[in-house]
């Protein structure tokens, strides 16, 4: 390893050279333990799910128990983007910019039916699932989810973080929008946005 390379290059080169072994797994354990237990949320509350999220943050359910009490209302000091509520197309560039501004490591929780799928808003103005705009780690179902539901989602995210490893060089790579201006291929966006449930009974012209 060259001594004059930058710290990121150095650590990247180091990590790519070592296979998962006893040292890396112990280091992973320590890093992931620290990360999972001090997640700072960036609340992106757009609707009624945000009210439920306030209940989660308040004393009765108290996400301070998981080291999450510090709301980062600036994306630069946040780890988890928590989209609570439906996302209109007008807010899509905003959440994308917030996501881009968050430093790695970062995760995204999609809270509620509308954020995850568009929910009842199968209309001209609503993004059909925020996963067409930003990558999502945990989907929490519900309309809105009970606070216990969101806590379960947070614990699932903890579990996911505990499974991460430094030996995976792709894990923390920034993925900007593709040249076409989308995060994923257009066909996939259309497929994710297909109507389901009761929406299938209304035609496109209804």
Partner 1 sequence: MNPSVESLRRAFGSKIGRATVSCGQTIVYVEPGSIREVLQWLKDTPGEEYNYLVDVTAVEYRDPEPPLEVVYELRSLERRAELRVKAELCKDEPLEVDSVVPVWNAANWLEREVYDMFGITFRGHPDLRRLLMWETYAEGYPLRKDFPLRGRFSRAEQVRRALHANPEANYSLDELSIAQAHRDLPADMRERLERGERAAIPDLPDGEDG
CA distances to 123, 173, 189 from 128, rounded to whole Å, are 9, 25, 9
Choose among 99, 107, 120, 117: nearest CA to 198.
Answer: 120
Residue 154 near residue 58, CB atoms below 8 Å? no
Q: Is 196 in the site for partner 1 (CB under 8 A)?
A: no
Q: Choose which of 46, 110, 116, 128 interacts with partner 1 (CB under 8 A).
A: 128
Q: Is 197 in the site for partner 1 (CB under 8 A)?
A: no
Q: Is 200 in the site for partner 1 (CB under 8 A)?
A: no
Instruction: Tell me how far, at minimum, the Cβ of 123 lies from partner 1, in Å.
Output: 6
Q: Is 93 in the site for partner 1 (CB under 8 A)?
A: yes
Residue 96 near residue 133, CB atoms below 8 Å? yes
Instruction: Tell me how far, at minimum, the Cβ of 188 lies from partner 1, in Å.
Output: 8
Q: Choose which of 59, 104, 174, 187 interacts with partner 1 (CB under 8 A).
A: 187
Q: Interacting stretch for partner 1, rule CB under 8 A, among 59-67, 109-117, 166-174, 189-197?
A: 189-197
- Token reading at 67: 């080291």
Q: Is 202 in the site for partner 1 (CB under 8 A)?
A: yes
Q: Interacting stretch for partner 1, rule CB under 8 A, among 19-27, 52-60, 157-165, 177-185?
A: 177-185
Residue 27 near residue 20, CB atoms below 8 Å? no
Q: Choose which of 18, 58, 177, 200 interacts with partner 1 (CB under 8 A).
A: 177
Count, residues near partner 1 per rule CB under 8 A: 32
Q: Is 186 in the site for partner 1 (CB under 8 A)?
A: yes
Bridge partners, residue 88, by sequence: 126
> What is the distance between the alpha carbons of residues 33 and 44, in angstroms, rounded to a whole number?
25
Residue 81 near residue 96, CB atoms below 8 Å? no
Instruction: Give the β-pairing of 80-84 and 107-111.
Output: parallel
The binding site for partner 1 (CB under 8 A) comprises 89-94, 96-97, 122-125, 127-128, 132-133, 177, 179-182, 185-187, 189-190, 192-193, 202, 204-206
């Amino acid at each position: 390893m060259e001594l004059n390379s930058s710290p990121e290059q150095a650590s990247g080169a180091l990590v790519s050279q070592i296979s998962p072994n006893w040292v890396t797994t112990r280091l992973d354990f320590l890093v992931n333990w620290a990360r999972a237990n001090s997640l700072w949320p960036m609340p992106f509350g757009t609707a009624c799910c945000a009210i439920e999220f306030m209940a989660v943050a308040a004393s009765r359910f108290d996400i301070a128990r998981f080291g999450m009490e510090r709301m980062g209302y600036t994306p630069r000091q946040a780890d988890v983007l928590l989209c609570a509520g439906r996302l209109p197309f007008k807010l899509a560039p905003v959440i994308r910019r917030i996501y881009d501004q968050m430093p790695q490591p970062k995760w995204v929780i999609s809270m509620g039916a509308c954020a995850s799928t568009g929910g009842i808003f199968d209309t001209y103005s609503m993004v059909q699932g925020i996963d067409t705009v930003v990558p999502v780690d945990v989907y929490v179902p519900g309309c809105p989810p009970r606070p216990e539901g969101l806590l379960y989602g947070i614990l699932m995210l903890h579990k996911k973080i505990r499974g991460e490893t430094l030996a995976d060089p792709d894990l923390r790579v920034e993925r900007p929008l593709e040249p076409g201006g989308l995060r994923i291929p257009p066909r996939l966006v259309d497929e994710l946005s297909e109507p389901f449930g009761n929406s299938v009974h209304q035609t496109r012209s209804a």
